[in-house]
A = this chain, B = another copy of it.
């Protein structure tokens, strides 16, 4: 009872404060000649401004489609920024799922990858991936020049690539580094820093653009009718299978697989960091998929937002319930992986599957990822963050799901999709086996056992992630 009276008093207090401030504000309003905001514009109708010369010049250049071009260009830029944020998502997810003694190392790799990725894509990757006419399998890259990208207009790509060359570059550049980031998580906690940096650079510069050109550059897969909207295969399966190759060459973390087939989990050190990572990835995916519409065409972009979000949610729910049933506990790390699985799954067909197709794609991806993680652990493929399962296996799933859940009239073939995704995965795998294999032979890819035990933060960087020890303990 007394609770209610008190509540009432509080509400009365609010009402009272309201009256006082009402009086106050009336005074103030008088002083500032309050006018209505929106109506003012219409009623007080200032004479329509003459467009200034700058604007007329722009329209003269771009024609009547200028406004739509501008919107679309802007959207793709914003999408690029969102994809950029995915790199923070990966950095936090991977460091959260690593032990604290390897945290600086994981963060460093992610910082390096985005920096290196942008520069290498500028100097080689972009032109290797979008070479114009080429043999369909492989093209050489060259540095971007200002001349090539300074004068683009609507004719560059119509509604299908409705942006300036700069925008095209920066959006694709943000994607490019992702492949290496995926590998980064899988090889965490034992890979030698310098070897990884070399491998990541080669993968992003020379590997990724090749398969990219097969489809998005207009190569043989594109000619075949293969469809991969935003990269379930071209980005995720590519990264996942590169990761698989590296993990096989690298071997498991010490102490992970014991004699007698026992598996000893090595726990990630911060669930909040990992959760932040997945939410940021989810957010970034609106740019990853939404931006892949390559214009702001309202229905396409909004439908992609819906399928992306729905598949992610379905993936999360499926992983929650599957892990609850199979593992007996509602596992947060599985829920997080389930969301990512749903996102990877929907990426290939976000614009072209049915609405409830996206639900099923997510649900199935969320289930697959749980079993896939268990499976890879069983065959002793030690992947600390589940990158192979999330990106590799669900990337394949998403690509073939385009054929299964396509909208009426889509005309996608299950077989073509399967050929495409397996070719891409195979290329990534073989490229990585060779390149990482050579690096292994030449300079080694693994830190010493001692360094692995002591942690790569001290070993590679001489720095701790959480060096604080209640006051000054360093001399």
Contact = CB atoms under 8 A, between A and B. Distances in A.
Contacts of A464: 267, 271
Contacts of A6: 375, 378-379
A228 interface: no
Contacts of A170: 302, 305-306, 309
A98 to B, nearest CB: 10
A472 B255 contact: yes
Given A111-B339, A272-B465, A46 B151 contact: yes
Given A81-B82, A320-B112, A150 B29 contact: no
A459 to B, nearest CB: 10
A266 interface: yes
A158 B54 contact: yes
Given A314-B119, A357-B25, A36 B150 contact: yes
A397 B18 CA distance: 8
Interface in A247-290: 248, 255, 264-273, 275-276, 278-280, 282-283, 286, 290
B32 A146 contact: yes
Main secondary structure on chain A at its contact with chain B? helix
Size category of the A interface is: 35 or more
Number of copies: 3
A63 B49 contact: yes
A28 interface: yes
A158 B58 CA distance: 12
A202 B156 CA distance: 50
Contacts of A278: 111
Interface in A1-47: 2-3, 6-7, 10-11, 13-15, 17-19, 21-22, 24-25, 28-29, 32-42, 44-46
Contacts of A336: 111
Contacts of A143: 32
B71 A67 contact: yes
Nearest to A333: B463
A57 interface: yes
A460 interface: yes
Contact of A305 (B54, B67, B80, B397): B80
B354 A14 contact: no
17 contacts: A13-B368, A17-B368, A18-B397, A28-B356, A32-B147, A33-B145, A34-B407, A36-B407, A37-B146, A38-B297, A50-B155, A66-B68, A73-B298, A95-B275, A99-B468, A116-B313, A122-B359
Enumerate the 4 nearest inter-chain pairs by beta-carbon distance, A residue then B residue, closest first. A49-B155, A48-B63, A52-B158, A166-B302
